[in-house]
Amino acid sequence: MAKKSKIAADLRRREVVARYAERRAELKEMLRHPETRAEALQGLQKLPRDASPTRLRNRDVVDGRPRAYNRKFGLSRVRLREMAHRGELPGVSKASW
């Protein structure tokens, strides 16, 4: 299980990204035009660092583990295996051949 502070920081970051997404998109569009480029760059630099979506980290929805994340299920490899063996994931069965 990940530290509670890391999970909380990630949630806070996601809120900041969502809050500034529209403004960020406007500034990114302004970057395309040479006459407004300098203004757009200055505007982007004034935004909080955590407003950038690249600072988000995919985490396991159950316990917040940051590594070995599986996008299809939103789980880490460890949790995915446990839940699949217990039959808690619909449509997933153990392979046998």
Q: What is the pLDDT of residue 95?
A: 80
Residues 45 and 15 in one domain: yes
pLDDT in tens, 15-72: 999 999 999 999 999 999 999 999 999 999 999 999 999 999 999 999 999 999 999 9
Residue 39 located in a structural domain: yes
Element (H, E) at 69: strand 69-70
Residues 18 and 49 in one domain: yes
Residues 53 and 65 in one domain: no
Cα 24 from Cα 30, distance rounded (Å) = 10
The residues pairing with 69 across neighbouring beta strands, listed in sequence order, are: 76
Residue 97 located in a structural domain: no
pLDDT of 93 higher than 90: no
Cα 67 from Cα 28, distance rounded (Å) = 30
Q: What is the pLDDT of residue 54?
A: 94
Residues 24 and 1 in one domain: yes
Assess contact for 66 and 59: CB atoms under 8 A. yes
Distances (CA, A) of 47 to 24, 26, 30, 42, 81: 8, 12, 15, 9, 40
Model confidence at 96, in pLDDT bands (50, 70, 90)?
A: confident
Cα 52 from Cα 48, distance rounded (Å) = 8
Residues 62 and 37 in one domain: no
Cα 52 from Cα 23, distance rounded (Å) = 11
Give me 39's structure tokens.
Answer: 């203004």
Residues 39 and 20 in one domain: yes
**How many domains are there within the chain?**
2
Model confidence at 97, in pLDDT bands (50, 70, 90)?
A: confident
Assign residue 79 the CATH number of its domain: 1.10.287.1480
Domain span holding position 68: 58-92
Its pTM surpasses 0.75: yes
Cα 48 from Cα 89, distance rounded (Å) = 38
